[in-house]
Amino acid sequence: MHIIKSAQKLSHYLSVLRIEIENVTVGFTPTMGALHVGHISLINASVENNDITICSIFVNPTQFGDQNDLDKYPKPIEKDIALLIENKCDILFLPSYEDVYPKEYEQKEFDLAGLDFKIEGASRPGHFQGVSNVISRFFEIIEPTNAYFGQKDYQQTVVVKRLIKILKLPVILNVEPIKREPHGLAMSSRNIRLSEKGRKNAAFINEALKQLKEDVPSLGITAAVTKAKQFISAQKGARVDYLLAVDTTTLDSVDKYKGKGQTAVVTVVEYEGVRLLDNIIL
C-alpha cells in the first residue's frame, strides 16, 4: 500500500495511472480514522469493484462544532494502517490541513436545499457545509469513479448525493449497510469512548428501532416513534437528542408511512457522554 500525504503527488500519481491503464476505475472511501469493521466493509466493497482503492484519513476540523469533541476524536494511525494493508487498500491518502485547505482555498457555501439545517444539522450548525467542503476537495483531488459511504451516517449520504448533483460530478455514490457490534450497537469510531458494559448496554438503541419498524403497521409512525423514544429514555443514563421519521430524500419529518424505502427513522442518543447515531429504513 502506498501512503501519500501530498494532494499534488496523489493527483499526479492518478493522472499517470489513468494514462497507463485505459478506463481504470478508482474507488474512494473518506474517513476520519479510528477504523472499524464498518469502514472495512466500505474498503472491501471498493476493492471488489474497482481497479484502485483509495482511503483517506483526515480529521476535518470544519465539521466539528465543539472543539472538545474534535480534541477527543481517536487517532490510532498505526492500527488503521495495518487494517488497510490487511484489506488490500492500494493507497492511503494522509493529508495535512494545508494540503486539503491550501492558503488560497476559500470555504464554500453549497446550496444543499436545506439538508444542512435539518436533523443533525439543527444541533450542529455548519457541520454539513464542513462535510461538503472536505468531500468536494477530495473529489477534486482524486476524481473517483465510485465513492463509498456508510448508512450509519444517513444524513451525510443524502448530503453527498446532493453535492454530487450540484457539482455535476461523474461519481457513483455507493451506500453500504450499517455494521453492528455483536450486541447490536451501530459501529462507530466513537464507540471506543464507551465503557465495555456501556458498549453492550447501548444495544437498546437498535432494539428500539427494530421494534419501531414492527410497530408501524399497527400503531402508525407517530405512535411508534413516541413508543421508541419512551423506551430509550427509560434506559438508565440515556438521553434522546432526537428520534425522527423522515423522508429519505428531503429529510422532512413525516407522520405517515410513504412506502418501502421512502421513510427513514434517524436518531442520536447520548449515552455515557457519547453521541451515538443510528437509523433504520422502513
- 188 burial (CB, 10 Å; 0-12 / 13-18 / 19+) is buried
Q: Which residues contact 227 (CB under 8 A, 6 or more apart)?
A: 211, 212, 215, 219
Rounded-to-integer distance, Cα 241 and Cα 254, Å = 18
- Smallest CA-to-CA distance from 79 within 36, 49, 48 is with 36
Active site residue 39: yes
**Catalytic pick among 2, 12, 36, 39:** 39
Rounded Cα gap, residues 166 and 148, in angstroms = 19
Q: Is 176 helix (H, G, I), strand (E, B) or coil?
A: strand
Which strand (E) or helix (H) includes residue 154? helix 154-167
State the Cα angle at 202 between 226 and 255, rounded to 5°. Answer: 20
- Provide the annotated active-site residues: 39
